A and B are shown apart, each in its own frame.
Chain A
């Protein structure tokens, strides 16, 4: 991918190597109570600040979360002030998470 072209987030995440990519399923290290997101959260901040686009908001404005693309940056641990995010480090054996080649 030429560096001077704008890249989409999915192209960028395609350059990340994840752990346990071969496993059919992985244990989630971050759990989000999307009821809070969709019923009471006034700002939906994580949908903007997550650098891996794990928090998305669909056409109707509903917030969804997936942990598979998470690069363990920690941003949502601070950005969610609504208590909706339970944040842990992935389990080395059964979890997902990154394996940087350069870092």
Chain B
């Protein structure tokens, strides 16, 4: 058959493009289908792409003229806030200045497009440039299944066939549901909604305000007042000429507390600590998207079928542990692993259920599933009211007495802490949290 590919990739986000790059380097004939006008047109993240897998895909990407990313991360801050104060843990590290970086901040409409160009470059310099294709502006409406095996895709009236399909459609995974790997209706319990603004700032103002040098960047996560009593947290990341400011809010709690995500975003931005960071800026774009939480109770158990592998957030591969959101690096690694398995299958000609299952066991052996498993209790802890509500109040209260020097007799720090704890909680409750945190983080 003329239009039969080795592999079809559905979705041109991080997982899909990482799979495509891996296939392109192996010289496989593949078709990637993306519904957006260009790769990235439909995608939203905070966002930091953590780790150094990008260097595996695009070696020495930092040497490219416009390397798609905004800034690399060398400065991190975790802030606990109540309505007027902000108590931060701040870490800046010159070791992080050296490539391959520890993480890069991205804006998806730019980054995904850049990554797609890199994939196209590899296709073009390969042996059969006309045999592989990145097709945009096309919606895959159905996976074609024949005798229990996924054999291709349908878009409108057109059908395309391949030996296997890598499904990288993101969290709103309609096709994963179509083939029964995820239930038809998934309740909101373990999902969040992310809302965000990109705020433009003059580059010089930005760099001096945040003490940035060259292409270095700051990531700041927020807990407490940020989410207005709703389960969740906030973030601020520096881009080249802007900052990304937003909230990730547990959907169910938000609905039950009758709060609207955009009202909470206004409230977060009005906090003195945040207000000072964005002052003089101009809102360039408002965006929102569903985010998984990392709670494994909502994840599909099986990520393959004969002829099919599911990668990225389509498989709910994401960990939100409070100190970082890891969705993009998980998408990247799982896309790479799925594609490597597809290449292996193209060599053996075996696309059976067993052959596809190798992808899931590779994923189990990788840091993605190992971390997801070992940080389950951190996910639960981060999503408990003691953590997103009481802890920040206690710390800010303590900060007020510890850092406020009065012309009065000063209690010892430990007594200050005790009294702050008693005001918002109990020593017993905090001892329990301390114990849980020490075991789960």
Identify the A interface with B (CB < 8 A).
Answer: 1-4, 6-7, 9, 12-13, 15-16, 19, 43, 45-46, 48-49, 51-53, 71-75, 77-79, 81, 83, 87-89, 91-92, 97-103
* Pairwise interchain contact B254-A16, C-beta atoms closer than 8 A: no
* Pairwise interchain contact A51-B40, C-beta atoms closer than 8 A: no
- Does B304 interact with chain A (Cβ within 8 Å)? no
Kindly identify which residue among B36, B43, B281 contacts A2, using a CB–CB cutoff of 8 Å. B281
Q: Which residues of A contact B282 (CB under 8 A)?
A: 1-3
Q: Closest CB-CB distance, B172 to chain A, in whole Å?
A: 4
Known interface pairs A3-B283, A6-B269, A100-B41; A78-B191 also in contact (CB < 8 Å): yes
Q: Closest CB-CB distance, B338 to chain A, in whole Å?
A: 22
User: Closest A-chain residue to B186, C-beta based?
Assistant: A78
Kindly identify which residue among B44, B254, B275, B281 contacts A100, using a CB–CB cutoff of 8 Å. B44
Q: Closest CB-CB distance, B72 to chain A, in whole Å?
A: 19
* Pairwise interchain contact B255-A101, C-beta atoms closer than 8 A: no
User: Closest B-chain residue to A51, C-beta based?
Assistant: B288
Interface centre among A2, A6, A48, A53 (most CB of B within 10 A): A48
What would be 24 A-B contacts, judged by CB atoms less than 8 Å apart? A2-B282, A6-B269, A7-B262, A7-B266, A12-B286, A46-B255, A49-B254, A49-B261, A51-B195, A51-B288, A81-B188, A83-B185, A87-B174, A89-B139, A92-B137, A100-B41, A100-B44, A101-B285, A102-B109, A102-B198, A102-B285, A102-B287, A103-B107, A103-B112
* Pairwise interchain contact A75-B139, C-beta atoms closer than 8 A: no
Identify the B interface with A (CB < 8 A).
Answer: 35-37, 40-45, 107-110, 112, 137-139, 171-172, 174, 185-188, 191, 193, 195, 197-199, 242, 251, 254-256, 258-262, 266, 269-270, 275, 278-290
Interchain pairs with CB closer than 8 A, number: 156
* Pairwise interchain contact B284-A74, C-beta atoms closer than 8 A: no
Kindly identify which residue among A1, A12, A99 contacts B262, using a CB–CB cutoff of 8 Å. A12
Known interface pairs A16-B286, A92-B37; A103-B139 also in contact (CB < 8 Å): no
- Other than A1-B282, A78-B187, A100-B285, give 16 A-B pairs with Cβ distance below 8 A: A1-B283, A3-B283, A7-B266, A12-B262, A15-B284, A48-B260, A51-B261, A52-B288, A78-B191, A89-B172, A92-B138, A100-B40, A100-B41, A101-B109, A101-B284, A103-B40
Kindly identify which residue among A48, A53, A77 contacts B259, using a CB–CB cutoff of 8 Å. A48
The SS class assigned to the B binding surface is mixed
Q: Which residues of B contact A74 (CB under 8 A)?
A: 171-172, 289-290
The SS class assigned to the A binding surface is loop
* Pairwise interchain contact B262-A81, C-beta atoms closer than 8 A: no
User: Closest A-chain residue to B172, C-beta based?
Assistant: A74
* Pairwise interchain contact B260-A71, C-beta atoms closer than 8 A: no
Give the distance in Å from the alpha carbon of A16 to the alpha carbon of B196 in the complex: 12
Kindly identify which residue among A75, A88, A91, A103 contacts B109, using a CB–CB cutoff of 8 Å. A103
Give the distance in Å from the alpha carbon of A44 to the alpha carbon of B74 in the complex: 44
Kindly identify which residue among B186, B262, B285 contacts A51, using a CB–CB cutoff of 8 Å. B262
* Pairwise interchain contact A77-B172, C-beta atoms closer than 8 A: yes
Q: Which residues of A contact B259 (CB under 8 A)?
A: 48
Q: Closest CB-CB distance, B264 to chain A, in whole Å?
A: 10
Q: Closest CB-CB distance, B43 to chain A, in whole Å?
A: 5
* Pairwise interchain contact B138-A102, C-beta atoms closer than 8 A: no
User: Closest B-chain residue to A46, C-beta based?
Assistant: B255
Interface centre among A52, A72, A73 (most CB of B within 10 A): A73
User: Closest A-chain residue to B289, C-beta based?
Assistant: A73
Kindly identify which residue among A45, A52, A77 contacts B255, using a CB–CB cutoff of 8 Å. A45
Known interface pairs A2-B282, A16-B285; A102-B139 also in contact (CB < 8 Å): no
Known interface pairs A4-B275, A7-B283, A78-B186; A98-B261 also in contact (CB < 8 Å): no
Q: Closest CB-CB distance, A92 to chain B, in whole Å?
A: 5
